[in-house]
């Protein structure tokens, strides 16, 4: 059941994460509770950096903040020596408040507003990843009128169908993200014309998320080098940077067998090097933007079990004190999760149950058909691998306050986001 190295069971048969007893964490901070193993996040950052350093020294890893971003996380990323991807004025604001160096921030988004572009320019972000011709024209006008320099990448859709859920594929031709080949040529000409204020560095792609097939990334890399070579022939522009995005999958279920961080980085690096040689293209600096594979397996969510309903011959529903408000992924992507009865972690899983959330939606089922030890009211359930895209996508549906987030490391815990209160729920309302 327990599939992550950061989880253990202690002599009381309680689940431990980062050296902390989950039963104690629930007692101290309440439930539902997001718990993140800070040691594992740091280790994943280190592995990314080291892997890239080994096989592609002219490279940089940027953490994709959309997966999970708080002030403490931004601090951690900075300390770990990674850059940061942000995708909105709000994420940029958070990063700057955390003291994240603007030059190490890359600004994304398929529909950045004029205000967001101005905020990015004012902050002096390291890169803006341009997603459309309209955005490029707006940016050119801004930098020229403000006489301010900025470095940009152009996002290309490489026409790769990644094997993942439809909603999290992004590189295929029919996508709201990025530019097609003809638009890229136009964009390069516009950007070159806007020099020296606009410094075109190169190209970006991101083919999707939760991808297990490394070949998809290699195909994307080849496609990017072909693009770069064709652009050079047409316009003379030589790109010095290639950003291959994120997308490496993680283990949600015991049967999942995702490639390692090292294999992912090696595959991308090798494909870029080989394709560059084939195309006779000078090696560009390589950027990677992992999100899920840095934080996903480091997180779990603790829930208190409430009502248990037996529907004879149908199923047993075990309702917990959270649900789609703190984890929309099962409802949105049919995502599947594993769970452990955290206060009885060593007991044999003998009963098949469905874990239901408490939102007013029949579809609010966190896990359908999971084997657990006999569950009783007030047991503590830990849903595993919830570190990515759970807190980030959390809502106040049904006026449920959002849970707290706690970092654990070496047997110590610290609150990094306090639990919302009822007062928080109406703090912005006017009557
Ligand atoms: N770079 C870009 C431009 C992206 O759009 C994304 C994710 C990443 C990097 C990071 O990808 P990762 O390494 O985390 O796969 N909410 C969905 C996932 C959406 C991913 C959006 N873009 C989910 O919960 O599965």
Cβ atoms of 308 and 377 within 8 Å: the answer is yes
Confidence at residue 6, expressed as pLDDT on a 0 to 100 scale: 82
* Cα 349 to averaged position of ligand 1 atoms, centre (Å): 33
Confidence at residue 4, expressed as pLDDT on a 0 to 100 scale: 63
Residue 291 Cβ inside 6 Å of ligand 1? The answer reads yes
Confidence at residue 370, expressed as pLDDT on a 0 to 100 scale: 98
Residue 407 bridge partners (DSSP): 36, 414
Cβ atoms of 164 and 208 within 8 Å: the answer is yes
CA dist 130 and 298 (Å) reads 31
Question: Token match 């594979």: residue?
Answer: 293
Confidence at residue 160, expressed as pLDDT on a 0 to 100 scale: 77
CA dist 344 and 381 (Å) reads 9
Q: Which of 142, 230, 429, 348 is nearest to 128 (CA)?
A: 142
Question: Token match 């994240």: residue?
Answer: 100
Residue 387 Cβ inside 6 Å of ligand 1? The answer reads no
Q: Coil, strand or helix: which one is 265?
A: helix
CA dist 319 and 303 (Å) reads 9
Confidence at residue 257, expressed as pLDDT on a 0 to 100 scale: 97
Confidence at residue 166, expressed as pLDDT on a 0 to 100 scale: 60
The catalytic position among 55, 360, 390, 399 is: 360
Residue 365 Cβ inside 6 Å of ligand 1? The answer reads no
Q: Tell me the pLDDT of the chain (431 aa) as tens digits.
A: 566 668 999 999 999 999 999 999 999 999 999 999 999 999 999 999 999 999 999 999 999 999 999 999 999 999 999 999 999 999 999 999 999 999 999 999 999 999 999 999 999 999 999 999 999 999 999 999 999 999 999 999 988 776 666 655 566 677 889 999 999 999 999 999 998 999 999 999 999 999 999 999 999 999 999 999 999 999 999 999 999 999 999 999 999 999 999 999 999 999 999 999 999 999 999 999 999 999 999 999 999 999 999 999 999 999 999 999 999 999 999 999 999 999 999 999 999 999 999 999 999 999 999 999 999 999 999 999 999 999 999 999 999 999 999 999 999 999 999 999 999 999 999 99
* Cα 152 to averaged position of ligand 1 atoms, centre (Å): 20
Burial label for 71, CB within 10 Å (0-12, 13-18, 19+), is: middle
- What does R_g of the chain's alpha carbons equal in angstroms? 23
Residue 289 Cβ inside 6 Å of ligand 1? The answer reads yes
* Cα 246 to averaged position of ligand 1 atoms, centre (Å): 7
CA-closest residue to ligand 1 atom 19: 168
Confidence at residue 171, expressed as pLDDT on a 0 to 100 scale: 60
CA-closest residue to ligand 1 atom 16: 389
* Cα 207 to averaged position of ligand 1 atoms, centre (Å): 9
Residue 210 Cβ inside 6 Å of ligand 1? The answer reads yes
Shortest-distance atom of ligand 1 to CA 170 = 5
CA dist 67 and 387 (Å) reads 8
| Helices assigned H by DSSP within 80-180 | 89-97, 114-123, 133-146
Q: In the β-sheet with 7-9, what is the strand arrangement from edge to edge?
A: 7-9, 15-17, 20-21
Confidence at residue 172, expressed as pLDDT on a 0 to 100 scale: 66
CA-closest residue to ligand 1 atom 6: 246
Please indicate whether residue 360 is annotated as part of the active site: yes
Q: Which of 14, 15, 19, 41 is nearest to 298 (CA)?
A: 41
Confidence at residue 159, expressed as pLDDT on a 0 to 100 scale: 82
Tell me which of 129, 175, 211, 292 to substitute to probe ligand 1's pocket, judged by most ligand atoms within 8 Å of the beta carbon: 292
CA-closest residue to ligand 1 atom 1: 245
Residue 397 Cβ inside 6 Å of ligand 1? The answer reads no
CA dist 94 and 124 (Å) reads 15
CA distances from 382 to 14, 254, 323 (A): 11, 15, 12
Confidence at residue 165, expressed as pLDDT on a 0 to 100 scale: 62
Shortest-distance atom of ligand 1 to CA 204 = 3
Tell me which of 172, 204, 289, 333 to substitute to probe ligand 1's pocket, judged by most ligand atoms within 8 Å of the beta carbon: 289
């Amino acid at each position: 059941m327990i599939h992550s190295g950061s989880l253990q069971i202690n002599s009381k048969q309680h689940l431990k994460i980062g050296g902390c007893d989950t039963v104690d964490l629930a007692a101290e901070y309440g439930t539902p509770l997001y718990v993140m193993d800070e040691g594992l996040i740091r280790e994943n950052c280190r592995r990314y950096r080291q892997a890239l350093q080994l096989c592609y020294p002219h490279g940089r890893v940027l953490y994709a903040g959309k997966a999970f971003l708080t002030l403490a996380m931004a601090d951690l990323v900075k300390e770990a020596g990674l850059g940061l991807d942000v995708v909105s004025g709000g994420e940029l604001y958070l990063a700057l408040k955390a003291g994240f160096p603007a030059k190490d921030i890359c600004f994304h988004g398929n529909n950045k507003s004029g205000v967001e572009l101005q905020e990015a320019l004012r902050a002096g972000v390291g890169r803006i990843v341009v997603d459309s011709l309209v955005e490029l024209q707006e940016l050119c006008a801004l930098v020229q009128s403000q006489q301010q320099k900025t470095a940009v990448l152009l996002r290309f859709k490489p026409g790769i169908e990644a094997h993942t859920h439809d909603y999290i594929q992004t590189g295929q031709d029919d996508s709201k993200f990025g530019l097609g080949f003809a638009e890229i040529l136009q964009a390069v000409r516009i950007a070159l014309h806007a020099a020296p204020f606009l410094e075109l560095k190169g190209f970006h792609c991101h083919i999707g998320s939760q991808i297990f097939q490394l070949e998809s990334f290699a195909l994307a890399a080849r496609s990017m080098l072909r693009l770069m070579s064709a652009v050079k022939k047409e316009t003379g522009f030589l790109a010095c940077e290639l950003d291959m995005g994120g997308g490496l999958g993680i283990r949600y279920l015991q049967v999942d067998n995702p490639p390692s961080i090292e294999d992912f980085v090696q595959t991308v690096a090798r494909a870029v090097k080989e394709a560059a040689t084939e195309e006779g293209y000078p090696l560009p600096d390589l950027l990677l933007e992992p999100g899920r594979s840095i934080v996903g397996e480091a997180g779990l969510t603790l829930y208190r079990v409430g009502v248990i309903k037996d529907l004879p011959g149908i199923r047993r529903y075990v309702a917990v004190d959270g649900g789609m408000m703190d984890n929309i992924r099962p409802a949105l992507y049919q995502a599947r999760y594993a769970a452990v009865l955290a206060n009885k972690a060593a007991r044999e899983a003998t009963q098949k149950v469905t874990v239901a959330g408490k939102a007013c939606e029949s579809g609010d089922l966190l896990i359908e058909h999971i084997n657990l030890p006999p569950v009783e009211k007030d047991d503590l359930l830990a849903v595993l691998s919830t570190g990515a895209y759970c807190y980030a996508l959390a809502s106040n549906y049904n006026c449920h306050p959002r849970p707290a987030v706690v970092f654990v490391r070496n047997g110590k815990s610290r609150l990094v986001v306090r639990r919302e209160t009822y007062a928080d729920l109406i703090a912005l309302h006017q009557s």
